[in-house]
Amino acid sequence: MPSPDRHLPVAALALAGAVLLAVCGPVSVADSQTEANEQRQKLEHLRDVNAQARDNATELRREMNELQAEAIDRGLLLTLDDALFTTNAVRLSIPGHRRVEALAEFLEQHPERNVAVDGYAGAGNYRYDQALSTRRADAVRTYLLRRGIAANRLTARGADLPQDDDDFAPRQRRVEVIIEDPLTLAPQLDATAPGT
């Protein structure tokens, strides 16, 4: 005759199973497998998103090198110095055409990006240089328009720099093209808004 002590572990397991069933409800193996599959799919999706982000960052770095642009708070900065224009004129030189053509190709590939074109005067005859800087900024904008970039994506102006501006001394004639990053231009939520 079996001893009553041998049935004690079986009874304890049955009691523990009944308590778990009462507290957690019935748990099936199929439910556990479904949940595990969903978690695995989420992890695979996140891995794919991270790989795509890495690829996008690598491509953007390549494009920046092609444009000879640098990253700034607002997006990318492309500087067209005086040498990329014909002397004391608005026309682009051959290297200037290449740079602006690369810019047009970049903008075709990134239709979400807008461009601000700012012409800056040099240290010479300020009035003449200011007019020239405005005309050069307009010339870059016109080039992009002729290449099919939508007018609502482009702004151009001659930027006013005071004569005593030491940040640009010695000031050089140049056109700065800011390729705006749509993410940095998104309005920020005010964390201190009333009722929050």
pLDDT in tens, 92-124: 999 999 999 999 999 999 999 999 999 888 776
Residue 162 placed within a domain: yes
The better pLDDT of the pair 110, 184 is held by: 110
Residues 55 and 145 in one domain: no
For residues 175, 182, 47, 40, the Cα torsion angle rounded to the nearest 10 degrees is 180
Clarify whether residues 36 and 94 are in a common domain: no
In-domain check, residue 42: yes
Percentage of the chain beyond pLDDT 70 is 67
Shared domain for 84 and 37, answered yes or no, is no
Q: Considering its fold, how many domains does the chain have in total?
A: 2
CB atoms within 10 A of CB 145: 15
Q: Which domain does 44 fall in, by range? A: 32-67
Residue with tokens 């920020």: 188
SS (H, E, C) the chain: CCCHHHHHHHHHHHHHHHHHHHHHCCCCHHHHHHHHHHHHHHHHHHHHHHHHHHHHHHHHHHHHHHHCCEEECCEEEEEEEHHHECCCCCCECHHHHHHHHHHHHHHHHCCCCCEEEEEECCCCCHHHHHHHHHHHHHHHHHHHHHCCCCHHHEEEEEECCCCCCHHHCCCCCEEEEEEECCCCCCCCCCCCCCCC
Q: Which letter, b or e, does each residue of 56-74 get, where b requires 16 or more Cβ atoms within 10 Å of its Cβ?
A: eeeeeeebbeebebeeeee
In a domain, 60, yes or no: yes
Query: Which amino acid, 68?
Result: Q
Model pLDDT for residues 48-106, shown as the tens digit of each residue: 777 777 766 666 777 777 778 888 888 899 999 888 888 888 899 999 999 999 999 99
Q: Are residues 41 and 135 in the same domain?
A: no
* pTM tops 0.85, yes or no: no
Is position 22 within any domain?
no
Over the chain, what is the mean pLDDT?
A: 77
Let me know if residue 151 belongs to a domain: yes
88 and 44 inside one domain: no
Query: 174 with 110, same domain?
Result: yes
